[in-house]
Amino acid sequence: MKRVEYPSGIRDLIAQLKRMPGIGPRSAERIALWLVQSCDARPREIAKTLLIAADTVRPCGNCGFFTVGDICEICADETRSVDSICVVELATDILPLERTSVFRGRYHALGGRISPLDHVGPEDLRIRALLDRVKSGRITEVILALGADVEGEATANYLAGLLREFPITISRIAQGLPAGGGLESADELTLSRALTGRTKMQS
Ligand SMILES: [Zn+2]
């Protein structure tokens, strides 16, 4: 006997939802059924919002944070200090640091970290853009806020080597971050302490 399945519309929806991070087959099925059954679902609104977000949100041309214009809210904020840059691996690392309210300078997201095993080399990251910013700006300090794992270490050391030629202080956020974890997984207090207790790599 032929096994009965949901109609193709629901099956396709489940297949699309399953591709999303953190959504397993059970959740995908639950969400798909809610979308087609519930009067609260407002599928047209969801579809419209999804398209608008996907079409308009892009990385800031300066720091790599999310924006709908050319420059993000942080880079456009003239009340923020322009003499220090906090370097992070990913754009998603910026908001956890922002929430600590310890740092009031600008950011620079590299777009990853050096990881030979994953075939990510320095040329794959926004390192040239960082050097250009340091060169052209009134930068006095670069804070390296990279993960506490091997790749984070290697990336920090590589950057410190390149930045040595500039008359700036290079510091590294204090350890105490979860070993092997990125900034995303750290709580606010740990991040705030790590920023306040940053140590000079060289000046
Ligand atoms: Zn920006």
User: What secondary structure does DSSP assign to 161-188, as a single string?
Assistant: HHHTTSSSEEEE--S-SPTT--GGGS-H
Q: How far is the CA of 3 from the centre of ligand 1 (A)?
A: 53
Q: How far is the CA of 148 from the centre of ligand 1 (A)?
A: 24
Q: How far is the CA of 185 from the centre of ligand 1 (A)?
A: 22
What per-residue confidence (pLDDT) applies to 200? 80
Using one digit for the tens of pLDDT, what is the confidence trace for 170-199?
A: 998 876 666 566 777 677 777 777 777 787
pTM, whole model, 2 decimals? 0.80
Q: How far is the CA of 131 from the centre of ligand 1 (A)?
A: 15
What per-residue confidence (pLDDT) applies to 187? 75
CB neighbour class for 136 (10 Å; exposed up to 12, middle 13-18, buried from 19): exposed
Q: How far is the CA of 60 from the centre of ligand 1 (A)?
A: 5
Residues in the chain predicted with pLDDT less than 70, given as ranges, are 175-181, 185, 202-203
Q: How far apart are CA 10 and CA 183, in angstroms?
A: 37
Q: How far is the CA of 47 from the centre of ligand 1 (A)?
A: 28
What per-residue confidence (pLDDT) applies to 175? 66
What per-residue confidence (pLDDT) applies to 101? 87
Q: How far is the CA of 67 from the centre of ligand 1 (A)?
A: 8
Q: How far is the CA of 1 from the centre of ligand 1 (A)?
A: 59
What per-residue confidence (pLDDT) applies to 80? 95
Q: How far is the CA of 70 from the centre of ligand 1 (A)?
A: 8
Using one digit for the tens of pLDDT, what is the confidence trace for 4-21?
A: 999 999 999 999 999 999
What per-residue confidence (pLDDT) applies to 197? 72
